[in-house]
Amino acid sequence: MMSAMHTPTLYRQWADHYAQAIHSGALPPGERMPSLRDLMARHAVSLSTAVQLCRTLEREGLLEARPRAGYFVRPRRPLASLQEPQPSAPDVAQYVGIHQRVSEVLALSQRYPAKVNLSGSCGAPSLYPGAALRLATQRALRAQPDIFSQPLAMAGCAPFLQALAQHALDAQMTLSPDELVVTHGCTEALTLALRAVAQPGEVIAVESPTYYGLLQILESLGLQALEIPASPHTGLSLEALEMAARQCPGLKAVAVTPNLHNPLGCVMPDAHKRQLLRWCQRHDIALIEDNTYTPLYDAGPPLAAIKAWDDSGQVIVCSSLHKILAPGLRLGWIAGGKWHERIAMLKYSQSRPNELLPQLAMTDYLSSGALPRHLSTLKRTLRHQREQMADAVDRLFPAGCRFSLPPGGMSIWVELPGELSSLAVFHAALQQGIRISPGVMFSNAGRVDHCLRLNAGLPYTREVDRAMHTLAQVIEHTLNQAPAGRGKATHA
């Protein structure tokens, strides 16, 4: 960046640097500029250079000064020639208390159209039994002509609860239909579990990194996330949990994804599952278990849920059919253990029971016996796609990148070399029409800011391959821009 070919003045050099960051979107509209003190320290310049740098960018229309708050990247004005209305960056003040960083990344992802979306955690539509579910829906419509006109019973849809209880047996959970509540995806299940066991201000232990949706829920409910390091091989560190709990006596719950963790893809060994359960029982701490990906394990016999060993109602299971059967349906469920009644009432109070039609259609599908065959095809396809994507990372990404190859699911987790900012990569990739999930979303503690998650749920087409090439270049480029002493040099 800082070529010395014709040595412009120092403030001009740095002004150009920031102008480029702004144009690239790395410093998005609305973003706060580093303070004058920060600029001085970062670039080893004098106060007057820092001031001149900011004033220059202000004159050029890139920054605006806000009284007592400093300089901010100016919201973009629509250019006359521009076709699509230029999407403005979200106003982050809107997201205070809903996890600002995660919300901002999500909102930006929404506003910039992506040609190739590698940010999700979901299979391609072709991997799901859409036609069978459509037929099942038509059958349900014929069987229950009154379906849209009957008010919904608080107790839910008995045949679907029954089908879910049966499905849960695959993960060795023996649940009675009347201890289940149907929810809007695992997301609502997690929301309800947390609302049931904790009050605002209280502390919940989570894996670090963890699913960003959980961080959003926690913060928006006013709960404190206590991040416990998770191993990419065995998940949550039980020693770290015990240590943390000793320092934080009011712990209300531990929320984990023991099987095919998002984003790491790891599986907690059965011995750890039992140990964690006993520990939670002993300390009367709720164990919130997210089983979203459990059926997608393909490296051996089916995985057991922690709930399989729960003899006291300490485990709240949250799950969903989203990832395995129907990304376009919001069918989740929760088994609340000893908090069941409370959770059922919170569900009623928050959104009322789920609609019947999708539940009846899914019951029809599940009882047709088609699930095992579908799952085995799905798992085979996902495995192949994971291998292809991991292979591309291996071939294309700069030296020093490391990646996971998990035993199921669709996520590839990539560690970038050095302390490269995944947020910079995210912004630069977005400019190229490629969407990824930057590591910063998965932890408050900054432990994985240099990582990113890729979705191997899509068939590895030419277009995806091209996107992987572009992404590799973006990473390379971002590496080269990283200040000396960080980035590739130290790791190549």
Ligand X SMILES: Cc1ncc(COP(=O)(O)O)c(C=O)c1O
The binding site for ligand X (CB under 6 A) comprises 121, 185-187, 211, 213, 257, 262, 290, 292, 320, 322, 332, 352
Q: How far is the CB of 257 from ligand X (least distance, A)?
A: 5
CA atoms of 57 and 50, how far apart (whole Å): 11
Q: Which lies closer to ligand X via its Cβ, residue 121 or residue 363?
A: 121
Residue 69 falls in which region: left (phi positive, over 0), alpha (psi -120 to 50) or beta: alpha
Question: Are the CB atoms for 421 and 450 separated by under 8 Å?
Answer: yes
If you write DSSP's letter for every residue of 179-210 in order, what string do you get? Answer: GEEEEEHHHHHHHHHHHHH--TT-EEEEEES-
> 297 contacts which partner out of a copy of itself, ligand X, none, CB within 5 to 8 A by kind?
none
CA atoms of 125 and 137, how far apart (whole Å): 17
Q: Which lies closer to a copy of itself via its Cβ, residue 312 or residue 376?
A: 376
Q: How far is the CB of 457 from ligand X (least distance, A)?
A: 11
CA atoms of 378 and 296, how far apart (whole Å): 8
Q: How far is the CB of 421 from a copy of itself (least distance, A)?
A: 23
Using CB atoms within 10 Å of the CB of residue 63, give its burial: 0 to 12 exposed, 13 to 18 middle, 19+ buried: buried
CA atoms of 336 and 338, how far apart (whole Å): 6
Q: Which lies closer to ligand X via its Cβ, residue 54 or residue 317?
A: 317
Q: Which lies closer to a copy of itself via its Cβ, residue 1 or residue 248?
A: 1
Q: How far is the CB of 210 from ligand X (least distance, A)?
A: 8
Q: How far is the CB of 103 from ligand X (least distance, A)?
A: 16
Q: Is the peptide bond before 8 cis (omega within 30 degrees of 0)?
A: no
Element (H, E) at 14: helix 10-24
Q: Can you give the C-alpha Rg of the chain in angstroms?
A: 25
CA atoms of 35 and 56, how far apart (whole Å): 15
Q: How far is the CB of 432 from a copy of itself (least distance, A)?
A: 21
> 290 contacts which partner out of a copy of itself, ligand X, none, CB within 5 to 8 A by kind?
ligand X
CA atoms of 115 and 111, how far apart (whole Å): 13
> 1 contacts which partner out of a copy of itself, ligand X, none, CB within 5 to 8 A by kind?
a copy of itself
Position of minimal CB gap to ligand X: 185
> 298 contacts which partner out of a copy of itself, ligand X, none, CB within 5 to 8 A by kind?
none
> 41 contacts which partner out of a copy of itself, ligand X, none, CB within 5 to 8 A by kind?
a copy of itself
Q: Which lies closer to ligand X via its Cβ, residue 49 or residue 121?
A: 121
Q: How far is the CB of 194 from a copy of itself (least distance, A)?
A: 11
Q: Which lies closer to ligand X via its Cβ, residue 263 or residue 417?
A: 263
